[in-house]
Chains A and B, each alone.
Chain A
Amino acid sequence: MNELKTKIRIDNFNFYYGKKHALKNISMNVPEHRVTALIGPSGCGKSTFLRSLNRMNDLIEHTRCDGTVVVDNVNIYDDAIDVVELRKKIGMIFQRSNPFPKSIYDNVAYGPRINNIKEKKQLDEIVERSLIRAALWDEVKDDLSKSGLALSGGQQQRLCIARAVAVDPEILLMDEPASALDPLATTKIEELIHELKGKYTIVIVTHNMQQAARVSDFTAFFYMGEQIEFDETKKIFTMPGKKQTEDYITGRFG
């Protein structure tokens, strides 16, 4: 673990919904170009934690947090940080695929256009590159003007991935990206994650332990807002250090 460069360093991070203490003293180092899985029973705080990494939780009223989240030496909770610019660097894929009710092309081009890329040729290039990267290009290249909503569930989710990578992020946050998909589509997404990690640092929330075991290099186990254990996935699944982790992995609760 030492030879890996740390991309995100979380130190003593706490998060509160009103009076509810949702995340307690989370600390971990997320390595660059690796997949880090967050697992735990529902309500354990794993999604809240994920949404703290691109400050999506800022949108919810009456929440607060303390501690630091440092990405490449930059504390993203620093007052001088621009949240909008931050989110361009840290993309997010949601649990339910959420393409805009626009064409496939316009979905992918949404981010670049916001970044003031207007030239048709350049946009075409980005759209093609992103769709290729999301392993969707071959399926849709003949009909880019089709509505994103007309795609199948698995294709929609890959469209969302293409949309996210189109703005050139460094980190991809995925919130149970395959939970609403059938096994075949899930396999495709998992393969895609495997390919993407060469270019991006990926943090993925999943409730599916086999999935975590299959796709991730590191795994953090959350329980009741606390980070119980964080280690290499291999180690977590073969010889967990904590009793609670073992209980969860062997299906004794959750």
Chain B
Amino acid sequence: MIQKKILSASVSSATALSAFFILAIVAVVMGNIIIEGSSTITWEFLTGKPTEGMTQGGIFPAIFGTFLLVVIMSIIGVPIGTITAIYLTEYANQRSPFARLIRFAVNTLAGIPAIVFGLFGLGFFIQFVGSSMDKALMPAGQLRWGQPNILWASLTMAILTLPVVIVSVEEALKSVPRELREASLALGATKFETIWKIVLPNSLAGMLTGGILAVSRGAGEVAPILFTGAAYFLPKLPNSLSDQFMELGYHIYIMSTQSPDVEATRGIQYATTLVLLVLTFALNFSAIFLRYRVRKNMAH
């Protein structure tokens, strides 16, 4: 009996300890970055550009580049993801081979390592599409599209975040009660009228959630843009789709591993990391909040 008690206590304490360990990781990582980072963040840091060989100054170009990246990415990815989700929930015959194939493709897309998306961006967008565009549009031998830039980086990121959008929007569409669809159809509305006037307006918040989650994911990924468009240092902001850009995550990576004096810029590194964290979490929390509200509405 005593033996049993010891076993019981050790099993439950082992599980509690593991849970506590996870909480500790979160607390330590977040705490460390918030404490170390907040001391360097100033208005000038957020709005200035790097100076003195990136050992001084701010990170505005990186904030702007990240912003631009996710905006272009969303413009491309969110509509495609949303429409794919509409196909999967509203149009597809669930057992048809085509629908299954698409679902399989979405799942596969979700599992591909981020770095492979980077390779794809390089091999497809830059080497294939970009080079072909240069051959057609530019004077012989000149490169414009056949090299890394913000367009190719954004497109690569759009494909990477596509499954995020699809899955969230699908969830939103499925949460619209069947009764509403039936009511609309029974009144003589067509399928598309029903989707347009009943299903989509009632899943707007869910679609927004999908978009936000995708943006948060896109803002946090660095591997896909390592060689599709991110730049080490650019004093100028990008003003064309064929320009390279600075990006927050890439900036953290560069500053903490590549800069001549890594120790001297520790403050900048921490502050940049904090900015990225705040950005992704602000996005994540608004998505969680929205989703919570959607579920509450639907329960009503």
Identify the A interface with B (CB < 8 A): 54, 56, 59, 61, 84-88, 91-92, 94, 96, 98-101, 110-111, 114-115, 149, 160, 163-164, 167
Contact = CB atoms under 8 A, between A and B. Distances in A.
B142 interface: no
Given A101-B202, A114-B193, A88 B187 contact: yes
A88 B94 contact: no
The 9 closest A-B pairs by CB, nearest first: A88-B188, A98-B179, A92-B186, A111-B187, A87-B188, A98-B183, A114-B189, A84-B190, A84-B188
A91 B186 contact: yes
A94 B182 CA distance: 9
Interface string B184-225: 111111100100011000100000000000000000000000
A94 B184 CA distance: 12
Interface centre among B93, B185, B188, B190 (most CB of A within 10 A): B188
A139 B183 CA distance: 23
A61 B95 contact: yes
Interface centre among B95, B189, B190, B198 (most CB of A within 10 A): B189
Secondary structure call for the B interface: helix
A12 B268 CA distance: 81
A61 B94 contact: yes
B90 to A, nearest CB: 11
A56 B186 CA distance: 7
Contacts of B300: 149
A164 B183 CA distance: 9
Interface centre among A54, A59, A88, A101 (most CB of B within 10 A): A101
Contacts of A59: 182, 185
Contacts of A111: 187-189
A59 B179 CA distance: 12
A91 B185 CA distance: 10
A114 B192 CA distance: 11
A61 B91 CA distance: 12
Contacts of B202: 101
Contacts of A54: 186
B183 A160 contact: yes
B264 interface: no
Contacts of A98: 177, 179-180, 182-183
Interface residues of B, number: 20
Interface string B133-164: 00000000000000000000000000000000
Contacts of B185: 56, 59, 87
Interface of B: 93-95, 177, 179-180, 182-190, 193, 197-198, 202, 300
Contacts of B190: 84
Interface centre among A88, A94, A100, A115 (most CB of B within 10 A): A100
A94 B186 CA distance: 10
Nearest to B189: A114
Contacts of B182: 56, 59, 92, 94, 98
Nearest to A89: B188
B180 to A, nearest CB: 6
A205 to B, nearest CB: 14
A91 B187 CA distance: 6
A29 to B, nearest CB: 23
A61 B92 CA distance: 11
Contacts of B95: 61
Given A56-B182, A111-B187, 15 more contacts: A56-B186, A61-B93, A61-B94, A84-B189, A85-B188, A87-B188, A91-B187, A92-B182, A92-B186, A100-B180, A110-B189, A114-B187, A114-B188, A163-B183, A163-B187
A94 B189 CA distance: 16
A86 B189 CA distance: 11
A156 to B, nearest CB: 11
A127 to B, nearest CB: 14
A213 to B, nearest CB: 27
B188 A96 contact: no
A86 B186 CA distance: 9
B183 A167 contact: no
A176 to B, nearest CB: 13
A87 B193 contact: no
Interface centre among B95, B177, B184, B300 (most CB of A within 10 A): B184
A150 to B, nearest CB: 11
A153 to B, nearest CB: 14
A114 B190 CA distance: 9
Nearest to B191: A84
Nearest to B198: A100
24 contacts: A56-B182, A56-B185, A56-B186, A59-B185, A61-B93, A85-B188, A86-B188, A87-B185, A87-B187, A88-B187, A91-B186, A94-B186, A96-B179, A98-B179, A100-B183, A100-B184, A101-B202, A110-B184, A111-B187, A114-B188, A114-B193, A114-B197, A115-B188, A163-B187
A167 B179 contact: no
Contacts of A115: 188
A200 to B, nearest CB: 14
A50 B169 CA distance: 33
